[in-house]
Each structure stands twice: as structure tokens, then as C-alpha cells.
Structure 1
Amino acid sequence: MPITNQRVAAHRFLAGLYEDDYFPHRVVDRGRDILLRLCARVEADPPGDLTALYTLTHAATEEFNELEAAFEEAGSEIETTAREEIGEAFWFVAQAYGFADADPEELIAPREW
């Protein structure tokens, strides 16, 4: 499903990770895809409140938890720079879809990175 939110469609997710050779692009691509699937889910069935949004973001966070192994296999990891970049991406998604009062930490509460 193509993204219809123009702000999201124009956004370059995880740009900071693409600019750092420590993070393999093929793995960062998978992270970007997680975020785009999150956006598609939000657009397909818009959450009615923060609880519903958090359900979606938590599921996406769990996907990032699984992606940690791919980073490690590629000689990288989800460390401070990546954690901040990923967290900011989740915050951007919440903002772009009208959830200005979302708690940035709650968006990614089940993170293991």
C-alpha cells in the first residue's frame, strides 16, 4: 500500500544510519521497511487513540528487536546512535499522523536495544 501522508512519503527514514558506514545498508533497509509498514498500518486502520497507536508501534519495535541479530551478524549493532535514530523515527511517525501527545519512550517501550 503506497503511503498517502505526504510528510511521511517525503521523509528519509533512518538517514543518519545510511550516512554512517558502521551500519550496513542492507540491514538499515530492513529497518526502514519496518517503519514504512508501520505507516501503512496506521493509514490502513487509523488508531483512534494513543493506546491503539502504541499497540502498532510496539509491534514494530518487536520487529526491530528481531533485527538486532542481523545487525550483529553484519558486524554492527543497535547502539546509541542507532537507538536515537530509530526512536526519532517512531516519534516522527506519531507526529506525522497527528499524535503530538505521544510519549516517545512509550512508543518503543518493548525495545531490547
Structure 2
Amino acid sequence: MKGYFIAIISLILFSCNGQQATNQNTIVNQENLKNDKMKNYAYLKDMYADSYFPKFLVDKVKTILIELCIDIEKTSPNNNDALYKLTHTATKKINNLQNEFSEQNSEIETGARESIAADFDFIAKAYGFNADAEELIAPREW
């Protein structure tokens, strides 16, 4: 029993490095995008301007959008259907944030929907696609 206790304490001590945990989302860096429009784009500016939306959650949505840009740059989709596969994956990731918004007494409501949808549309256009704005976010639950 004493051995288990020492092992657990040792594990805790070795796993703690004394630094505050940082948000994993900071790994995605907008400046690394190849597309100049997206590299310099002000994502979700209406959501950032509204205190109803917690900034750390807006950051998560922004990260998903930047990851979408990275995926577009990596895979170079050659038609709208290939683009929709990428945007639908990103949309589903945003769907998964709804509970976190709710826990913060917020929600992805009309203003957020419009802001997010506008950014999806801007991303598609910036990469040369003439995609249907509704189809870009078809699996949305917000």
C-alpha cells in the first residue's frame, strides 16, 4: 500500500512542471497561413466585440476556422464538394462547442451564426471557391 502511495505522489510531482497550463489552441498560428487574405483576416470580429461571447470560446471557434484554412492549403480541394467535406468537419467541431457556450451562459445564437457563416463564406472565396454559403455549414446545429 505504501508503495502505491509513493508511486502516485511521484507521478503527480513529475507530471507537474510548475507552469500554468496553456490553451492547446495557441499551437495553430494564423501568421503561418499561405493565403494573405486569411493571414491578415480579422476572424469573428462581431463575436469578439460582444461581451456575451466568452473570448476563450470565440478563440476556440477561431482556431477551428484557421485549422480549416490549413486543411484547405494542405489538401488543395479541386471542387466545391471536396471543400464541403472540409467545411462540414469544421462545422461539426463548432457544433461540439455548444455545451461549453451554454456553461458560460452564452450560446451560438443569431449574431454568432451570422458571424461564423460570414467567415466560412469569406474563407471559401479567399481560396477561390464560388460555394453555396448554406452548404458550407450544412451540418450546423446552431
Q: Same fold, TM exceeding 0.5? A: yes
User: Which of 1 and 2 has greater Rg?
Assistant: 2
Is 2:136 the counterpart of 1:107? yes
Q: Distance in 1 between matches of 2:120 and 2:37?
A: 14
Offset at 1:70? 1.0
Q: Distance in 2 between matches of 1:89 and 1:67?
A: 17
Is 2:45 the counterpart of 1:27? no
Describe the SS at the equivalent of 1:12. Answer: coil
Q: In structure 2, which of residues 67, 71, 75 is the aligned counterpart of residue 41 of structure 1? A: 71
User: What's the TM-score once normalised by structure 1's chain length?
Assistant: 0.97
Unaligned runs of 5+ in 2: 1-28
Identity of aligned residues (%): 48
One-letter amino acid of the counterpart of residue 7, structure 1 = K
Is 2:34 the counterpart of 1:12? no
Runs of 4+ in 1 over 3 A off after TM superposition: none
Q: What does the per-residue CA deviation read over 1:49-70, in whole Å, with 9 as the maximum and x for residues that have no partner?
A: 0000000000000001001111
Q: In structure 1, which of residues 78, 96, 103 is the aligned counterpart of residue 108 of structure 2? A: 78
Q: What does the per-residue CA deviation read over 1:6-47, in whole Å, with 9 as the maximum and x for residues that have no partner?
A: 000000110110000000000000000000000000001110
User: What's the TM-score once normalised by structure 2's chain length?
Assistant: 0.77
Q: Distance in 2 between matches of 1:49 and 1:3?
A: 20
Asked which structure has the greater RCO (Cα within 8 Å, sep 6+), the reply is: 1
Root-mean-square deviation over aligned CA pairs = 0.8
Offset at 1:86? 0.4
Unaligned runs of 5+ in 1: none
Q: Distance in 2 between matches of 1:34 and 1:81?
A: 18
- Aligned pairs, number: 112
